[in-house]
Structure 1
Amino acid sequence: MPASRRLKIGLSACFSHADPSRSLFTGKTLQYIEQSVAHWIMSAGAMVVMVPCPTGETARGDVTLAHYADWLDGVVMHGGADVWPGSYGEAPLRQAWEGDRVRDLYDLAVVEAFAQAGKPIFGICRGLQLINVAFGGTLYQDIETQRPGALQHRNASTYDQNFHQVEFVPGSRLAQLYPGQRRVRVNSIHHQGIKRLAPDFEIEAYSHPDVVPEAIRRRPGPGRGYIAATQWHPEFHRQGHNALDDTAILHDFLAACSATRVQPPQPGHSPLHIRDRAARLLRQALLRRH
């Protein structure tokens, strides 16, 4: 298939902030992607473009995230660092859970740009958490601490080989993608998770038996484009692990991206100026801390 007919999918950037002690790229900010996410999207024939943060000390030119949202067919929100609790109006309970404030603001702006353009958005792990926060939800800063009796959702030693079961919500789109499979096995690499679900979203899967939300989707409606996310990493699926096959999830997202090519989307509704909201929540968290 020629490049002109292939879907162009954005992938949000991870950040390695400037570090004067680093021997390589000393004092330089790095933006990067984890290759298995790109390869997962490319497995269905789509082309992947990292969406770099257009702001920062070295910024030049007039390219914005809105330009990327207009040009690309959809975006995948990458996994990675914790979401800073200030992004949802809380002070960090521990220093280790402060997350990445700069990346939060960048990710919120990416979600805003693609939501305004009516382009499909899919979130993975941190991506799910960030989407929930962007649209008004909150998180557990640490499931183990704040949900006594919960499963072990992250194991630093086994990492992507840590698994648990999830149950699909009957009648949800995710359940429709996997007919006849009520309870399935997925990888689990997170210690934060959804505490309060964002308005206009629905939960599509819970962990079993501790009932932590593991997949969400935006309810259809005027001005509401496709937004879905999983707490697990579908790109980490490998044959022979007896875990959920990721193919249907990827094809569902890419089908939504193809649909926006056939019928250009109407401008969508993003959260109410979420970059301003993030700044407001930052002020609230700092006031609460002091």
Structure 2
Amino acid sequence: MDRLKIGISACFFHPDGERQAAPSKTLLWIEQSTAHWVMSEGALPVMVPSLNGATFRGDITVREYAQWLDGLVMHGGADVWPGTYGEQPLRPEWRGDRIRDENDIALVQAFRAAGKPVFGICRGLQLINVAHGGTLYQDISTQKPGARRHRDAEAYDLNFHEVDLLPRTRLAQLLPPGRHKVNSVHHQGVKDLAPAFVVEAVSPDDGVIEAIRHTGDAWVAAVQWHPEFHRPELGVIDDTPLLRDFLEAARAARCA
């Protein structure tokens, strides 16, 4: 079988600056659940490493990864650096990861330029929005009074709420109509939607954007929840159609 090769953006673990041994050593990693989600429909997950930093050598470019791989999943993880969308951090703990943002934006741009589909998960949605000119709430509970609690550190992926699928969207075509239960593991979210994107799902309690999609020729879509964590026995929506739709777009791009 000629399996699809799907890139997964790397999470960064930066040095703390206090270690005597290898003080500049940065770790790159992906979550097992994300890789297994991609594998569940027969695709091969490939972590895309950073192509910059003090230890980078050689002449490999992000464009080559975009040409070689069939699609890209933008991983969850650290906050987006507010400077990426023209703001200063309201609190030190919301400063995000500027280095990862620069790497991720380059990935999105390269895969778009190569005509390959991009799917975002949680932070991935936020990064995609910012990469296309949108902005974020640095902290939903602080900047959007009356909003529900979208992240519970103790419950983590067992924190749930409902989302409404908006009619006449691609997401509404893929999933059963109406209101669905999803997990929620984020404290940041879309404030100003990027141009050329539409909202596909919202939280009914507070209007927080839960899914977006590009309206032009590029196949770029994202959800704020974590489909890789969804287990049907917990009563959450079956996200398999989202993954299959993304992989179908990847196969179409390969054949183009």
Q: TM-score range by the shorter chain?
A: over 0.9
Q: Which amino acid in 1 is paired with 2:39? A: M
Stretches of 4+ moved more than 6 A in 1? none
* 1:200 equivalent in structure 2: 196
* 2:7 equivalent in structure 1: 10
Q: Which amino acid in 2 is paired with 1:164? A: H
Q: Which amino acid in 2 is paired with 1:195? A: K
Deviation for aligned residue 1:202? 0.2
In structure 1, distance between residues paired with 2:114 and 2:34: 23
Aligned counterpart for 1:226 among listed residues 214, 219, 238: 219
The alignment's TM-score, normalised by the length of structure 1, stands at 0.86
Does the C-alpha gap of structure 1 residues 178 and 88 become closer, same or farther in structure 2, counting only changes over 3 Å?
same
Q: Does the 8 Å contact 1:166/1:214 carry over to 2?
A: yes
Deviation for aligned residue 1:27? 4.2
Aligned counterpart for 2:49 among listed residues 31, 52, 63: 52
Q: Does the 8 Å contact 1:205/1:213 carry over to 2?
A: yes
In structure 1, distance between residues paired with 2:240 and 2:255: 22
Write the mapping of 1:158-197 to structure 2, written as runs, cut at 5 A. 158-179=155-176, 181-197=177-193
Deviation for aligned residue 1:43? 0.4
Deviation for aligned residue 1:118? 1.1
In structure 1, distance between residues paired with 2:19 and 2:237: 39
Q: Does the 8 Å contact 1:167/1:183 carry over to 2?
A: yes
In structure 1, distance between residues paired with 2:23 and 2:44: 31
1:124 aligns with 2:121: yes
Deviation for aligned residue 1:25? 6.7
* 1:251 equivalent in structure 2: 244
Write the mapping of 1:68-83 to structure 2, written as runs, cut at 5 A. 68-83=65-80
The alignment's TM-score, normalised by the length of structure 2, stands at 0.97
Q: CA RMSD in A?
A: 1.3
Q: Which amino acid in 2 is paired with 1:216? A: I
In structure 2, distance between residues paired with 1:8 and 1:27: 31
* 1:98 equivalent in structure 2: 95
Deviation for aligned residue 1:239? 2.8
Unaligned runs of 5+ in 2: none
Write the mapping of 1:13-24 to structure 2, written as runs, cut at 5 A. 13-21=10-18
1:95-119: CA deviations, max 9, x gaps?
1110011111111111111111111
Q: Which amino acid in 2 is paired with 1:141? A: Q
Deviation for aligned residue 1:20? 4.6
In structure 2, distance between residues paired with 1:65 and 1:20: 28
Q: Does the 8 Å contact 1:19/1:28 carry over to 2?
A: no
Q: Which amino acid in 2 is paired with 1:18? A: P
Query: Which 10-residue stretch deviates more, 191-200 or 21-30?
Result: 21-30
* 1:266 equivalent in structure 2: none
Deviation for aligned residue 1:208? 1.4
Q: Does the 8 Å contact 1:73/1:258 carry over to 2?
A: yes
1:178-230: CA deviations, max 9, x gaps?
13x3100000000000000000000000011211100000003xxx3200000
Q: Secondary structure at the match of 1:15?
A: strand
